[in-house]
Amino acid sequence: MTVEKLDLTNEGASLTAYIQDPSEELPNFEKRPAMLVIPGGGYNFCSDREGEPVALAFMAMGFNAFVLRYSIKENAAFPAPLNDAQEALETIRKNSEKWHIDNSKVAAVGFSAGGHLCAALSAMGRVKPNASVLVYPCILESIGRILAKPIPSVEKYVDETTPPTFIVASREDTCVPIENSLRYADALEKAGVDFEMHIFSKGYHGFSLADSTVFSRKEDVEYNKHLACWTALCETWLKKVFDF
């Protein structure tokens, strides 16, 4: 495996590539799908719990993975983070030969505020992923009260060019209410965009992979362990969308 970090244009923004080595013993993966991972953190920081562990989980599914560290804090005003995400996506596609990537199978996954950025990339971007995965995403302008900077309500920008989308959230989430996910799903439905959504009854905000790789306390793992199946559900969905 090759790990490579690239600085992006905006101050502090970067893209870390995790590239699996091609092998004659793996003929089905001469070119791999790619997953751009966009951590959450309220646009105040980029959560490590939603970065590299998530990248490694998608690598186990057969993806080459990329973790985006985007503009935060005083630099988080839109469209700066969106520009970071667009630059990251363009960088992945520009280097597809070098990184053994199928350019028609580049997805993005975002968590919380990173879910907002992932949705913005999918609905507002000049370049868009081929599939989008939103995990307890911030969507609505009203949620900006808990974020570093105001945000646009991205469901207003959904149209027929928005890529197929997978959404997962918890009804118990009081930090980012499921209204955010439901409103985005409604916009996808009205635009005729294929999507799949899973709303779990219980679970903390920020559950990430919902296992011991992201929770240090046993009680957190125990309470959220039923949510860990979302990655398997997502893998099944992605393999249908990307036919791999």
- Tell me the pTM: 0.96
Range of the domain at 80: 2-242
The stretch 144-172 carries a mean pLDDT of: 97
CA 75 to chain centre: 20
Measured CA to CA, the distance from residue 39 to residue 74 in angstroms comes to: 18
Residue type, 116: H
Q: Phi, psi (5° rounding) for residue 220?
A: -70, -40
**pLDDT for residue 26:** 75
Q: What is the 3-state secondary structure (H, E, C) of 52-116?
A: HHHHHHHHHCCCEEEEEECCCHHHCCCCHHHHHHHHHHHHHHHCCCCCCEEEEEEEEEEECHHHH
**pLDDT for residue 22:** 81
**pLDDT for residue 7:** 97
The stretch 45-65 carries a mean pLDDT of: 97
Give the pLDDT band of residue 207 (cuts 50, 70, 90): very high
Query: Looking at the predicted structure, is the pLDDT value of residue 29 above 80?
Result: no
**pLDDT for residue 30:** 81
Give the pLDDT band of residue 24 (cuts 50, 70, 90): confident
Give the pLDDT band of residue 223 (cuts 50, 70, 90): confident
Do residues 137 and 103 touch, judged by C-beta distance below 8 A? no
In DSSP terms, which residues pair with 198 in a beta bridge? 168
pLDDT tens profile 208-218 = 999 998 888 88
Least confident of 29-33, 84-88, 94-98, 163-167: 29-33
**How many structural domains does the chain have?**
1
**pLDDT for residue 215:** 84
Do residues 167 and 196 touch, judged by C-beta distance below 8 A? yes
Helix (H, G, I), strand (E, B) or coil at 198: strand
Measured CA to CA, the distance from residue 67 to residue 7 in angstroms comes to: 12
**pLDDT over 90 for what percent of the chain?**
89
Cα-based distances in Å from 225 to 116, 212, 230? 24, 9, 10
**pLDDT over 70 for what percent of the chain?**
100
pLDDT tens profile 96-153 = 999 999 999 999 999 999 999 999 999 999 999 999 999 999 999 999 999 999 999 9
b vs e for 6-29, b when ≥16 Cβ sit within 10 Å of the residue's Cβ? eebeeeebbbbbbbbeeeeeeeeb
Helix (H, G, I), strand (E, B) or coil at 1: coil
Q: Which residue has the tokens 């959404």?
A: 167
Query: Looking at the predicted structure, is the pLDDT value of residue 25 above 90?
Result: no
| Residue 219 host element (H or E) | helix 218-224
The stretch 18-42 carries a mean pLDDT of: 89
Q: What is the CATH number of the domain that holds 108?
A: 3.40.50.1820
User: CA nearest 38: which of 112, 96, 95?
Assistant: 112
Measured CA to CA, the distance from residue 196 to residue 175 in angstroms comes to: 22
**pLDDT for residue 127:** 98
